[in-house]
């Protein structure tokens, strides 16, 4: 009986030994497979500025390779004449890619771009600048690697200026340039901010268009292995800016597409610079259930708004706007830190909250009354639905920022003598 028990124990022990041995072999093989897969999937990440062009270098019809994935540029090679009209005269407004811009009748300043091709950093230099000098820099980013990449950030990394004695002052900076936001730069201190412009201290503004965080660029050799962007530069009305030279550096930070953590960010909105046309459609109410219909025209393509009818509201009940009249308007995000003074109000966050949290029982005039309460210092609404929206916005709307799928108030500015209006936009 002892032999029989011993035989069973021995057999069980031998089985365990074999099982462990096979498990070890299996584990070793499994580990090796994961190692091989990881090596294959990593690929190479390599991005650079493939081009950088100024619209004030005296070279008309500069070519920029923009073989990106956005129509109408989906071709194997898509070179665009980015700055038609660059005859050496100084630009006086933001130039859109491929369009002519207004220019002063003088050639005093110029803008140089260096670092491309095949560098992760571009250096932009404004020579002999002056207030309201307004150059644009066009650039393309090329993916030279074997895997798709995401642009994790485009950073302003350095600001320089030359003082009246010819001495260069250099300030390291670490500021993400978010697409469609305007950044104010004080070159004398390296301070970069979005608050109100400080006269005779702040020197120029930067506005990044088209290219932003989370733009994916396909691997080298594929359609979409490049993306393009532009940087609008505006020298401010500062008495010390006459004849000054500035330079700054922008740098790409890119990561393999499946390794980027995309944070929750504010809703970004792309609006055309300059003016577009506006006239009133149906009103009190409009056909879209708002105070009136806003009809926009002459809007360039490629922005968050376009030609057509938009849901509109009034934010100044004491000034008139005339149906049938066509107005020239400038469009602003209600969160723009550079809003004209007559459009500024600390309660735009609450209005944005309200247009995204309307009382389902509220009528158009309830909503309009609530808007006037916040922006026009109107009376507290007597209607219960309007009062409910005001109370809700006061309780929950402070600091509100629209997110994905939300509406944002876009101000249509016609100057301080015409009624202030805004439209609801879902970019």
**Three-state SS at 245:** strand
pTM value is 0.53
pLDDT at 1 > cutoff 70:
no
Average confidence (pLDDT) over 131-141 = 91
- In this predicted structure, which of 131-145, 214-228, 321-335, 372-386 has the lowest mean pLDDT? 214-228
CA distance 124 to 133: 14
CA distance 19 to 372: 78
Over its C-alpha atoms, the chain yields an Rg (Å, rounded) of 29
pLDDT of amino acid 79:
63
More confident residue, 138 or 118: 138
More confident residue, 130 or 18: 130
CA distance 243 to 245: 7
Checking DSSP bridges between strand 292-297 and strand 204-209, what pairing results, if any?
unpaired
Give residue 61's pLDDT band: very low, low, confident or very high (50, 70, 90): low
More confident residue, 221 or 15: 221
More confident residue, 374 or 52: 374
Average confidence (pLDDT) over 233-245 = 90
Give residue 154's pLDDT band: very low, low, confident or very high (50, 70, 90): confident
CA distance 122 to 134: 19
- In this predicted structure, which of 58-62, 136-140, 210-214 has the lowest mean pLDDT? 210-214
* Spatial contact of 48 and 252, defined as CB atoms under 8 Å apart: yes
- In this predicted structure, which of 3-7, 294-298, 420-424 has the lowest mean pLDDT? 3-7
- In this predicted structure, which of 56-60, 325-329, 356-360 has the lowest mean pLDDT? 56-60
Give residue 278's pLDDT band: very low, low, confident or very high (50, 70, 90): very high
* Spatial contact of 326 and 296, defined as CB atoms under 8 Å apart: no
DSSP H or E run through 226:
strand 226-235
Does a cis peptide bond (omega within 30 degrees of 0) precede residue 45? no
pLDDT at 5 > cutoff 70:
no
Average confidence (pLDDT) over 322-340 = 90
pLDDT of amino acid 128:
93
Beta bridge partners of 127: 110
pLDDT of amino acid 380:
92
């Amino acid at each position: 009986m002892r032999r029989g028990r011993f035989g069973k124990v021995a057999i069980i022990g031998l089985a365990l030994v074999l099982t462990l041995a096979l498990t070890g072999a299996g584990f070793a093989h499994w580990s090796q497979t994961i190692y091989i897969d990881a090596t294959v999937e990593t690929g190479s990440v390599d991005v650079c500025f493939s081009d950088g062009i100024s619209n004030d270098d005296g070279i008309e019809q500069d070519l920029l390779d923009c073989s990106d994935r956005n129509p109408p540029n989906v071709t194997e090679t898509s070179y665009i004449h980015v700055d038609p009209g660059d005859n050496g005269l100084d630009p006086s407004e933001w130039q859109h890619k491929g369009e002519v811009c207004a220019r002063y009748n003088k050639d005093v300043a110029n803008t140089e771009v260096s670092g491309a091709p095949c560098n992760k950093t571009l250096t932009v230099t404004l020579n002999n600048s002056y207030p309201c000098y307004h150059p644009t820099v066009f650039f393309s980013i090329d993916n030279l690697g074997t895997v798709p990449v995401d642009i994790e950030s485009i950073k302003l990394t350095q600001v320089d200026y030359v003082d009246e004695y010819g001495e260069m002052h250099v300030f390291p900076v670490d500021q993400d340039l978010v697409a469609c936001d305007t950044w104010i730069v004080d070159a004398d201190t390296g301070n970069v901010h979005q608050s109100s412009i400080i006269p005779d201290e702040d020197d120029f503004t930067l506005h990044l268009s088209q290219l932003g965080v989370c733009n994916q660029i396909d691997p080298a050799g594929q359609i979409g292995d490049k993306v393009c962007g532009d940087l609008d530069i505006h020298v401010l009305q500062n008495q010390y800016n006459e004849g000054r030279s500035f330079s700054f550096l922008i740098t790409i930070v890119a990561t393999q597409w499946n390794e980027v953590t995309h944070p929750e960010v504010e809703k970004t909105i792309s609006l055309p610079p300059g003016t577009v046309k506006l006239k009133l459609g149906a009103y009190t109410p409009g056909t879209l259930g708002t105070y009136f219909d806003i009809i926009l025209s002459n809007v360039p393509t490629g922005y968050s708004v376009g030609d057509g009818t938009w849901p509109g509201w009034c934010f100044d009940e004491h000034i008139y706007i005339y149906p049938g009249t066509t107005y020239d308007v400038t469009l602003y995000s209600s969160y723009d830190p550079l809003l004209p003074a007559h459009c500024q109000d600390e309660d735009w966050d609450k209005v944005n909250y309200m247009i995204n949290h309307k009382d389902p029982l509220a009528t158009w005039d309830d909503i309009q009354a609530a808007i006037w309460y916040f922006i026009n210092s109107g009376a507290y609404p007597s209607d219960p639905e309007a009062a409910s929206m005001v109370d809700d916005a006061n309780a929950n709307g402070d600091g509100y920022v629209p997110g994905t799928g939300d509406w944002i108030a876009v101000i249509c500015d016609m100057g301080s003598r015409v009624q202030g209006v805004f439209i609801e936009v879902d970019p």
